[in-house]
């Protein structure tokens, strides 16, 4: 009992010292030389080189300012002459309730305030239990805390060593000698991710476009990374189902899966970028501070005057009639190849397309997501639907030849209200079973068993009609 009070007093004495000596000033961080490697699938590898002042022998080191969503099982600590005895990640948080639970059997100071006079009365009390309410022993009386509803401050002598303000990583190390020494802490964390954003300014008259590429990285991990050397990896590593990840603290849900591919033909060229295994690497040119809840963009691509063309596509999903003409898709076609293209591999992201209006101001004309695209690929982005280009498919006749064989006569009317002749790629899909084209007004191609394609020239301010007869056997 007596010993305990002495200990308490000692800690009380230590408190002002703590307040003066070790309080971090705003903007300070416990992080050292930080390197962050960010993957596309909401994952990052953090390497934090800190200088620890270790006593010789065993000591317990706490690591503040690590990611609030750290995956503790991936932590490694390396330093010359430093052995790891154990690693702990403590979730036992310092809360008023935990403080009271830890004080059971111990003494606290009770300050009662007289509501009429404001006079304070101090007494020592022993906490007997903290179940539902707090039961105290004061001298030889047993009392329930604030049972009378009157104000009463409870002052604890100390914070139990096991309780922490935030989930805290601690490592017990064995050092072969005392003194400061560099150690490297590495771990994986969700909450950091990146994607690319492209700004494409399309010059239709000259069939050219200027493309700027930006990497966009987001930090929702709950922690800032100060003055970090940052490397972005174009790819997803492990943990293919992000929903299986564990989230600590205020994590945001993971991003949706990537959109369907838009690559017409995948390229086979190697871009002049750093590579690691199958992945391209995009290092940020300088160190930067990635603040919490921050979206950061850095330029990585700037191409002027790459060739690009506009095309039109229409796909009739089944051998059916449309009650009204339907707009064809506007497709922006370009290449990522070295010659006549963007000349780079394109990390997954969103391409936003702009075109200049009559006064020369860029206006947004649609966007589309792209997957990781190798250099040398042919890309077709459906950016929207053409107001003035429409297609109306009509079933002219459907004849039953037998119980499993039908003949369908289709007519497609393509209209063009623009003052320029265009070509529309007209697809008829849904050719299930054995479906053959027995008669057609324009030669078709058969890119796959399920589809036929016509490249239909449509005159300026005019229309074109394609007819075809399908023989379907199921």
Question: Binding to other proteins (CB under 8 A): which residues in 421-460?
Answer: none
Tell me which of 84, 263, 266, 382 binds other proteins, using CB under 8 A.
382
Residue 57 or residue 462: which is nearer to other proteins going by CB?
A: 462
- Residues 105-144, interacting with other proteins (CB under 8 A): 109, 113-118, 130-134, 144
Rounded distance, CA 36 to CA 220, Å? Answer: 14
For other proteins, the binding residues in 46-105 under the rule CB under 8 A are: 50-53, 93-97, 99-101
- The residue range among 39-47, 73-81, 236-244, 391-399 that interacts with other proteins, by the rule CB under 8 A, is 391-399
CB of residue 339 to other proteins, shortest distance in Å: 27
Q: Which of 228, 303, 392, 466 binds other proteins (CB under 8 A)?
A: 392
Q: What is the largest CA-CA distance in the chain?
A: 106
By CB under 8 A, tell whether 255 contacts other proteins. Answer: no
β-pair partners for 142: 137
Two tokens at 92?
A: 């036992």
Candidates 72-80, 272-280, 390-398, 448-456 — which segment interacts with other proteins by CB under 8 A?
Answer: 390-398
Tell me the sheet residues that pair with 411: 394, 467
Residue 17 contacts other proteins per CB under 8 A:
no
Nearer to other proteins, 408 or 435 (CB): 408
Q: Out of 417, 432, 449, 460, name the contact with other proteins by CB under 8 A.
A: 417
Considering the complex, state which of residue 94 and residue 266 has its C-beta at the smaller distance from other proteins. Answer: 94
Tell me which residues in 336-375 interact with other proteins (CB under 8 A).
Answer: 350, 352, 355, 357-358, 361-369
Q: What is the C-alpha separation between 76 and 85, in angstroms, rounded?
A: 12
* Cβ 223 to other proteins shortest distance, Å: 12
As given in the structure block, the two tokens for residue 422 are 């265009």
325 sits near other proteins (criterion: CB under 8 A)? yes
Distance CA 414, CA 318 (A): 17
- Alpha carbon distance 197, 355 (integer Å): 17
State which of positions 139-198 bind other proteins (CB under 8 A).
144-147, 149-159, 163-166, 180, 195, 197
Give residue for tokens 């270790």. 54
The answer to whether 253 contacts other proteins (rule: CB under 8 A) is no
23 binds other proteins per the rule CB under 8 A: yes
Nearer to other proteins, 197 or 440 (CB): 197
Take residue 459 and report the two structure tokens written for it.
């005159």
By beta-carbon proximity to other proteins, the closer residue of 313 and 338 is 313
Report in angstroms how near the CB of residue 328 gets to other proteins at its nearest: 9
Q: Write the CB contacts of 32 (distance below 8 Å, at least 6 apart in sequence).
A: 48, 49, 50, 51, 182
The alpha carbon dihedral of 16, 17, 21, 24 has a sign of: negative
Q: Which helix (H) or strand (E) holds 199?
A: strand 192-203
Among the listed ranges 72-80, 170-178, 412-420, 441-449, the one in contact with other proteins (CB under 8 A) is: 412-420
Find the binder of other proteins among 292, 313, 371, 440 (CB under 8 A).
292
Q: Which two tokens stand for residue 414?
A: 């393509």
Q: Which residues pair with 425 in a beta bridge?
A: 313, 455
Tokens of 179: 């003194």
CA 306, CA 201: separation in Å to the nearest integer? Answer: 10
- The least CB distance from residue 149 to other proteins, in Å, is 4
Q: Which is nearer to other proteins, 89 or 239 (CB)?
A: 89
* Nearest distance in Å: CB 8, other proteins: 8
Please provide residue 97's backbone torsions phi and psi, each rounded to the nearest 5 degrees.
-65, -45
CB 226 within 8 A of CB 29: yes
As measured in angstroms, the least distance from the Cβ of 331 to other proteins is: 10
Candidates 74-82, 233-241, 317-325, 338-346; binding stretch for other proteins (CB under 8 A): 317-325
Quick one: which segment of 36-44, 287-295, 370-378, 447-455 binds other proteins (CB under 8 A)? 287-295
Q: CA 303 to CA 94: how far, in whole Å?
A: 54
Q: Which is nearer to other proteins, 377 or 416 (CB)?
A: 416
Binding residue for other proteins, selected from 69, 223, 330, 444, defined by CB under 8 A:
330
Are 424 and 414 a contacting pair, CB within 8 Å?
A: yes
Does the protein bind other proteins through residue 293 (CB under 8 A)?
Answer: yes
Task: In whole angstroms, give the CA distance from residue 427 to residue 453.
Answer: 4
d(CA 337, CA 344): 7
Is 269 strand, coil or helix?
Answer: strand
Interaction between residue 389 and other proteins (CB under 8 A)? yes
SS (H, E, C) 288-321: EEECCCEEEEEEEEEEEEEEEEEEEEEEECCCCC
Could you give the 3-state DSSP secondary structure of residue 214? strand
């Amino acid at each position: 009992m007596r010993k305990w009070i002495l200990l308490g007093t000692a800690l009380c004495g230590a408190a002002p010292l703590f307040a003066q000596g070790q309080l971090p000033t705003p903007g300070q961080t416990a992080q050292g030389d930080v390197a962050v490697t960010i993957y596309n699938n909401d994952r990052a590898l953090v390497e934090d080189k800190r200088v620890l002042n270790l006593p010789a022998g065993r000591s317990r080191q706490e690591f503040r300012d690590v990611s609030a969503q750290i995956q503790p099982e991936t932590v490694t600590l390396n330093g010359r002459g430093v052995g790891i005895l154990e690693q702990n990640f403590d979730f036992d948080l310092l809360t008023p309730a935990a403080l009271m639970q830890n004080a059971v059997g111990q003494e606290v100071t009770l300050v009662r305030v007289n509501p009429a006079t404001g006079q304070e009365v101090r007494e020592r009390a022993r906490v007997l239990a903290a179940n539902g309410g707090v039961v105290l022993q004061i001298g030889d009386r047993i009392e329930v805390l604030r049972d009378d509803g009157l104000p009463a401050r409870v002052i604890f002598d100390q914070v139990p060593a096991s309780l922490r303000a935030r989930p805290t990583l601690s490592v017990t190390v064995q050092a072969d000698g005392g003194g400061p020494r560099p150690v490297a802490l590495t771990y994986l964390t969700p909450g950091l991710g990146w994607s690319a954003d492209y700004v494409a300014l399309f010059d239709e008259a000259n069939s050219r476009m200027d493309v700027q590429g930006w990497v966009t990285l987001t930090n929702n991990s709950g922690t800032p990374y100060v003055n970090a050397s940052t490397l972005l990896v174009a790819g997803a590593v492990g943990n293919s189902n992000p929903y299986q990840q564990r989230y600590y603290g205020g994590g945001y849900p993971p991003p949706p899966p990537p959109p369907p591919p838009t690559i017409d033909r995948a390229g086979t060229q190697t871009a002049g970028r750093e590579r690691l295994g199958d992945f391209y690497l995009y290092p940020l040119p300088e160190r930067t501070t990635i603040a919490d809840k921050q979206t950061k963009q850095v330029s990585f691509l700037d191409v002027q005057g790459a060739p690009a063309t506009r095309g039109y596509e229409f796909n009739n999903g089944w051998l059916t009639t449309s009650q009204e003409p339907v707009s064809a898709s506007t497709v922006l076609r370009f290449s990522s190849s070295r010659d006549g293209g963007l000349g780079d591999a394109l990390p997954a992201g969103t391409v936003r397309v702009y075109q200049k209006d009559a006064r020369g101001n860029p206006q947004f004309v649609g966007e589309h997501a792209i997957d990781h695209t190798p250099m040398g690929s042919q890309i077709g982005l459906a950016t929207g639907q053409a107001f003035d280009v429409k297609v109306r498919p009509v079933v002219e006749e459907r004849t039953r030849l037998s119980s499993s064989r039908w003949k369908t006569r289709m007519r497609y009317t393509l209209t063009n209200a623009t003052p320029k002749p265009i070509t529309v790629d007209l697809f008829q899909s849904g050719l299930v079973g054995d479906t053959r084209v027995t008669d057609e007004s324009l030669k078709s191609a058969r890119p796959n068993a399920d589809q036929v394609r016509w490249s239909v020239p449509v005159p300026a301010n005019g229309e074109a009609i394609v007819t075809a007869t399908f023989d379907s056997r199921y």
